[in-house]
Amino acid sequence: MPGLLTITLIQTELHWENKSANLSMLEEKIRAIKEPTQLVILPEMFSTGFSMQPGKLAESMDGPSVQWMGKMAAEKKIVLTGSVIIEEEGKYYNRLIWMLPNGQFGHYDKRHLFAFAGEDKFYAAGSKRLIASVNGWRINLQVCYDLRFPVWARQAPRAEDKTPEYDLLLYVANWPERRNHAWKTLLQARAIENQCYVAGVNRIGNDGNGIYHSGDSMLVDPLGEVRYTKAHDADIHTITLQKSKLDEVRNRFPFWKDSDLFSIQ
């Protein structure tokens, strides 16, 4: 229906550096979704976990993980998104794939690399945002550590019609439990300051380095109210967003019109 967007957040444990096991597990979860949905969101590096072994795990854009995404998107007639390790022109990227059911896709390369874990030593940073569109909704796609940098997500009026440039801000993540207070707080902050819905999809369980992830996947509304969250347990949650409620908030509290204008070099 016009004005509605139904999304499904998949919070799950990941098999460490085991693509076939992860793709099989996620295929089962996606096929188990009974409710009609338009967009299914997987965690960051969903086929491997957050690994610093791109030389061993990276694949090309016609590799098994991207092909699998195309198969699942076509089978379920959904948009499927999540990030994987991609090699391109001799560089490695933590790349979010936006896969359409007709096999077409877009991608976003993670801009902010997590130097604390050495990600910047193995991966190349992206330089461009990707704002996709589904059923009239504009969706800003970002990855994990990007969440800490509000300028990269900052809403700005579109040149053509002076309306906000996006409606939903989406983060896929492998965010450790030891810093989950920041994760939860910043997801709400991004929603409030950008007057948009925010979805954050995180993994659960221990990774191959023994780091525990509590999930805390979340859907936040434009006023910063948490409409869904789940900690520690695997979960598949489907929720429908209403454009009319978003428009009501923006019209009643048009704070976005007073924002500072700037460009990022």
Category of 224 on φ-ψ map: left (φ > 0), alpha (ψ -120 to 50) or beta:
left
Which residue of the set 17, 44, 59, 119 is catalytic? 44
Active-site residue, 144 included: yes
Which residue of the set 19, 110, 184, 230 is catalytic? 110
Residues 6+ apart with CB under 8 A from 184: 216, 218, 229
Which residue of the set 144, 184, 196, 230 is catalytic? 144
Going by their DSSP bridges, the two strands 235-242 and 4-11 should be labelled as antiparallel
> For residue 42, which of 55, 17, 23 has the smallest C-alpha distance?
23
Cα dist from 186 to 29, 123, 217, 224, 261, whole Å: 28, 24, 12, 10, 22
Dihedral angle sign, alpha carbons of residues 20, 26, 32, 36: negative
Strand order in the sheet with 79-88: 105-109, 91-99, 79-88, 39-41, 4-11, 235-242
- The answer to whether 209 and 176 have CB atoms below 8 angstroms apart is no
Catalytic residue numbers read 44, 110, 144
